[in-house]
Structure 1
Amino acid sequence: MTRAGQVYLIGAGPGDPELLTVRAQRLLQGAEIVVHDRLVSPDVLAVCPETAIRISVGKASACHPVPQDEINALLLTHAEQGRIVARLKGGDPLIFGRGSEEAAFLQSHGIEVHVVPGITAAQGAASATGVPLTHRGLAGAVQYVTGHRQAGQVLDLDWRRLADPDTTLVVYMGVANIGQIAMGLMTAGLDPTTPVLAVAEATTPRERRLFSWLDKIAHDLRVAELEPPVLFMIGRVVSLYSETGVPQEMAASAMVSANA
């Protein structure tokens, strides 16, 4: 009788393999099958053993070569064959990663599923750039939102809720629609001079950053030609950004202490 397989939904983090959790690294090193998304960095994939079978099921904007139902079937097939399957997703598997959908499908077929959290892109970008997601007096909360919809569907975000000057808004997967997103936020009352930081491939050696303002981000992004994956941080906390990766307020305090 074939032993029952198991599927681990593993968060690969934002790209830097040193940001993998200890558990994620251990499980990847013992995986027989690794089904991974496009946004999983080559450095993270290198953690997997050479004996593991790697299967790419990555998606890009308007390009889904492996539909979700086929991914579900693929995971089920290997698990039913008794394999240890690592379903490797960029960031955290339960934040805009369809991890919960895959878990529900597998569990409905009697497959044991374990979720291994990862550092999501927002946390990775914040640590790499020194921009805090919350900061006393600037932002008391943070909102995560995805900046795209399935093909043909309207980007029907709750602009009034998102246009809160007392929160930080983090937009995932928003390159194609950042102009529409900025307009929606400004129409709902967010100040056009609200600072925006776009970060491409955060925490990796290929990381690029673009500082702009809400009313200029769409134009500046086109000029800069940042390629996905790009994360947008929108809000007053972005005013603390400095190219050193240390918030300006902290940097100023350090200079005062050094000169005292």
Structure 2
Amino acid sequence: MERSQLQPVFIVGAGPGTVDYLTLKARDAIAAADVLIHDALVDPRVLAIAPTACVRIDVGKRGGGDSTPQSKIDALLVQHALAGRRVVRLKGGDPFVFGRSRSELTALQAAGCSVEVVPGVSSAIAAPALAGIPLTDPELSGSFVVLTGHDLDRHDWRAIARLDTIVVLMGARNLEGIVSRLVQHGCNERVPIAVIRECGRPEQQVWTGTLATIAEQTADIDLSPAVIAIGKVVRLHECWKQLHAPSTANLPLSGLTVLITRSEQQSDTFAQLLSDRGAGYIDLPALEIRPPSSWRALDRSIAHLSEFDWLILTSGNGVDAFWERLRKRQLDARSLAGIKIAVVGKKTAAVLRQCGLQPDFMPSKFVADALVAEFPESVIGKRILFPRVESGGREILVQELGNRGAIVTEVPAYQSGCPQAISPGALQALQQKWVDVITFASSKTVQNFCRLLLPTFETQGALNAALDGIAVAAIGPQTAWTCRSLFGRCDVEATEHTLEGLTDAIADWAARTRKHAPS
């Protein structure tokens, strides 16, 4: 391909934490990517912005663990760029703040590839701000410096110790060494210091103390990834904490961390419900939504829609897939004139309404069994179209409708599979017991969760022992049954089988637990 026809490579900063801190230009670049070469700490919801067909390559450099050699990252960028693909190199924070960008830029330039840089919000600025610590202040700080905490011997500590405010990135593992050098070169041991872990994320934590006390305060705690702020401005954190405490401390899930096992594409709604109640959350996707092995059966049914009396949709995924194939044939809601639509659950109904369609029937209980029991008319001789998950779904709906005389056409609309791997951060959160509640919105997420974790814990018994003290929460009776069969328990079961109902059930459980906890 001619160099003039090549797409520019985008070097993009993902910001410090969740998708909330992504710039609009960064979002646009990711949404158009053919290849996404990303760091390990980038929020999965940021990665989910990329198109389904986008190739995602994790080249994350994890402190203390295996990392992708920089030369290989450079080669990957050049390889995909020269193939004419739209390449996004996605880095946490800002790509030019300890982002190792020079090597990549040099390699791309040597290969004749053009580059566009999209700045991101650096954690050096964001972490103190999100902890209520201004880096400058008219009275307390007229300057600040940002250091790497990897190689302490490269810095002029005598000069650094004279500055008002010091910010250290990637320094959690060298915290004692940083403190020691500052004290040796003139810093008073009473100088305030803050360690801000997981900045910009719901599970953000802040430890404050002085140079004399911070090492003891954080002993035996895995602080990484963390930003360290040092200086008199750290005292302002207490003022900020007092201002913010009333807005979160009294929320029903305040202080709890919830593990979400829904797919990356589906976790946002639940995460927002939990955040609104004061909970932090960690994503461990135990489900991947994929296209079916073939669209042929669904397309054939859509071509003969006029032959059906009812369309049954039992999930938002089924609605999305059906609507996508409808549009592929340049059809819209008018093609469903004369066909009645039944849905299971408020969420499914809401997704359907986004397509401009109104369900004709929704059972009072959001389970498939209720749809059959409460069906509004006789189904004898009725032709029913049921787009569904390709395999692994419950068969009772089809069986019962068939037993009552309906002619049901099942067509695969999507697949739900198990992800290939578990994120290291989520695994560590479970092992360190940073999680208070694990949530499951389907039996398949329970099964896949175990499948993902068994290579680490080796047996189901060992896994169950590791989860001791962490509540297990299920969205409905079938999911609860699967939890009991695998974990031997289900601590929380939603009465209303929706994400809202599951959130309410967790809040009720939290209230009971706190009421009976020893003071």
Answer whether TM exceeds 0.5 for this pair: yes
1:29 is aligned, of 31, 37, 44, to 31
Deviation at 1:242, TM superposition (A): 2.2
1:175 is aligned, of 169, 172, 177, to 172
Q: Which residue of 1 aligns with 2:95?
A: 93
**What SS class does the counterpart of residue 242 from structure 1 fall into?**
helix
Q: Which residue of 2 aligns with 1:5?
A: 7
Deviation at 1:101, TM superposition (A): 2.3
In 1, the alpha carbon distance for the partners of 2:222 and 2:130 equals 17
In 1, the alpha carbon distance for the partners of 2:102 and 2:156 equals 23
In 2, the alpha carbon distance for the partners of 1:246 and 1:211 equals 14
Q: Which residue of 1 aligns with 2:194?
A: 197
1:84 is aligned, of 78, 86, 95, to 86
> What percentage of aligned pairs have identical amino acids?
38
CA deviations 1:162-193 (Å, max 9, x no partner) are 112x4210000011111011000000001111
CA deviations 1:2-21 (Å, max 9, x no partner) are 64132111000001212111
CA deviations 1:59-113 (Å, max 9, x no partner) are 1224343100000001100001001111000000000011122112211221111
1:184 is aligned, of 177, 181, 185, to 181
In 2, the alpha carbon distance for the partners of 1:243 and 1:86 equals 40
Q: Which residue of 1 aligns with 2:110?
A: 108
Contact 1:5 1:78 in 2 (8 A): no
| Higher fraction of helix | 2
CA RMSD of aligned residues (A): 1.8
Deviation at 1:210, TM superposition (A): 0.7
Contact 2:195 2:227 in 1 (8 A): yes
In the alignment, residue 179 of structure 2 is paired with which amino acid? A
In 1, the alpha carbon distance for the partners of 2:131 and 2:137 equals 15
2:132 is aligned, of 127, 130, 133, to 130
- Identify if the C-alpha distance between structure 1 residues 189 and 57 changes in structure 2 by more than 3 Å, giving closer, same or farther: same
**What SS class does the counterpart of residue 71 from structure 2 fall into?**
helix
In the alignment, residue 228 of structure 2 is paired with which amino acid? F
In the alignment, residue 46 of structure 1 is paired with which amino acid? A
- Identify if the C-alpha distance between structure 1 residues 106 and 220 changes in structure 2 by more than 3 Å, giving closer, same or farther: same
Q: Which residue of 2 aligns with 1:161?
A: 159
What TM-score does the superposition give when structure 2 sets the normalisation length? 0.45
- Identify if the C-alpha distance between structure 1 residues 31 and 214 changes in structure 2 by more than 3 Å, giving closer, same or farther: same
In 1, the alpha carbon distance for the partners of 2:144 and 2:103 equals 24
Contact 1:201 1:208 in 2 (8 A): yes
In 1, the alpha carbon distance for the partners of 2:187 and 2:66 equals 34
**What SS class does the counterpart of residue 9 from structure 1 fall into?**
strand
Q: Which residue of 2 aligns with 1:213?
A: 210
1:65 is aligned, of 64, 67, 71, to 67
Q: Which residue of 1 aligns with 2:228?
A: 232
Q: Which runs of 5+ in 1 are unaligned?
A: 249-260
In 1, the alpha carbon distance for the partners of 2:181 and 2:148 equals 14
Deviation at 1:158, TM superposition (A): 1.0
- Identify if the C-alpha distance between structure 1 residues 65 and 94 changes in structure 2 by more than 3 Å, giving closer, same or farther: same
Contact 1:193 1:214 in 2 (8 A): yes
What TM-score does the superposition give when structure 1 sets the normalisation length? 0.88
**What SS class does the counterpart of residue 51 from structure 1 fall into?**
coil
- Identify if the C-alpha distance between structure 1 residues 100 and 243 changes in structure 2 by more than 3 Å, giving closer, same or farther: farther
The answer to which of 178-187 and 212-221 deviates more is 212-221
In 2, the alpha carbon distance for the partners of 1:246 and 1:138 equals 20
Contact 1:199 1:232 in 2 (8 A): yes
